[in-house]
Amino acid sequence: MSPFPRPVYAPLEPYAPDRRPVEVDLSDNTNRWGAHPGAMEAVRSADPEELLRYPPVYADRLRAAVARRHDVPVEAVATGCGSDDLLDSAFRAAGEAGEGVAYMPPTFSMVEIFARMNALEARPVFGEASDDPASLGSLPDPEAMVDAAAGPAGGGLVYICRPNNPTGELQPRGWVEAVIEEAEGRGERSPIVLLDEAYADYAPDNFLREAAGSRRVLVVRTLSKLYGLAGLRVGFAVGAPEVIREVEKSRGPYKVNRLAEAAAVAALDDAEGWVPEIRSATLEGRARLAFELASRGYTPIGSSANFILVPVDDAAFVTAALRQDGVAVRPFLETPGIGDAIRISIGPPEELDRLLKSLDGLYGYA
């Protein structure tokens, strides 16, 4: 009889961030300005009959909206219940049991978990450390990334979060292109390069169009951040049609519900007014927060996302003290290459004012 749970699952723990209510929540990188107005109206005006029927199997309206918004073929788009769903599906579709997932710590915490859940080996790859406290140092050699994923038999995945979570750093485009070129040159059993672009709406460039034309690149995105739809769980992936087909087979049917699809389509089709305004406000807030933190003696990591990672002496203490004062941030303990740190989401000016006031009460203890 098979053991339950499977041995690979036994050491895993359920994902359990601190979700206690708090006055100012800057812990989860969602849109602190609110949900897209068009999405809100789509939910309010939904026909109750929609709730009685199953949603479209693969969210065809959403696929078409993504294709229109990002100028890629509709056949190059898959959808899912948040980008996590698509990452998990890609791991399952692209990796055989025992193959590797190469990644650069620190990065999205679910990578190691998804790898283990899908009988893959999470294989960290490190670059050279930096003496600059505001930088994580050099990136690994592209060949080393592909080697770690492929192993002697080929296959596997190279996971790159760009901009990276939790650091916010944007890996140079040329380096990512070199990783892709290295993977594409390994033949039919070369690794898939999986680009997690959850925060790319805040960055100066992305790889969506490259993914649509490559059988070795898959880009995963979410509408939880800039579009403010975290509660509806909507994500999408872009890749070559033959890659997308395998992801959809792995993902399964009915993953985007009717209300979520209607809201996401409305947001994507009305992205020229509200979205640029919120993006601009976020970037302004990010620059202001980085300046204010530096002026107080902190060394924030340079960010291309909607958050800033700040090294501190004792992240558990700082997080608890801020929460007691009504402000939530995300602690990172003993982070590779950094040590303890707190991650602060960017919010409207009044929320950043509230954070800074609370931090000032801790100054000298962080």
In the chain, where the domains are located: 24-34+273-362, 37-269
Question: What pLDDT is recorded for position 3?
Answer: 65
Residue 321, pLDDT score? 96
The predicted structure's pLDDT at residue 332: 96
**Residue 127, pLDDT score:** 84
Mean pLDDT of the chain: 93
Q: Which long-range contacts link 122-128 to residues 24+ away (Cβ below 8 Å)?
A: 123/148, 123/149, 124/336, 126/336, 126/337
> What pTM was estimated for this model as a whole?
0.93
- Residues 193 and 155: beta-carbon distance below 8 Å: no
Q: Which residue type is seen at 249? A: K
Nearest one of 49, 50, 69 to 227, comparing CA atoms: 69
Q: What is the pLDDT of residue 95?
A: 84
CATH number assigned to the domain covering 37-269: 3.40.640.10
pLDDT at 151 over 80: no
Pairing relationship of beta strands 157-161 and 192-196 according to DSSP bridges: parallel
Q: Is the pLDDT at 23 greater than 60, yes or no?
A: yes
Euclidean distance between CA atoms 69 and 201, whole angstroms: 13
pLDDT at 2 exceeding the cut of 80: no
Q: What whole-number distance in Å separates Cα of residue 299 and Cα of residue 150? A: 37
Residue 15 scores a pLDDT above 70: yes
Instruction: Reply yes or no on domain 24-34+273-362 having CATH 3.40.50.1370.
Output: no
**pLDDT of the residue at 132:** 57
What percent of the chain shows pLDDT beyond 90?
A: 82
Calculate what percentage of the chain has a pLDDT beyond 70. Answer: 96
pLDDT digits (tens, 9 = 90+) for 28-47: 999 999 999 999 999 999 99
Report CA torsion sign: 274, 283, 221, 44.
negative
Q: Which residues of 108-119 are buried (b: 16+ CB within 10 A; e: fewer)?
A: bebbbbbbbbbe
- What average pLDDT does this structure show over 169-184? 96
pLDDT at residue 311, rounded to an integer: 97
Tens of pLDDT, residues 322-366: 999 999 999 999 999 899 999 999 999 999 999 999 999 986 555
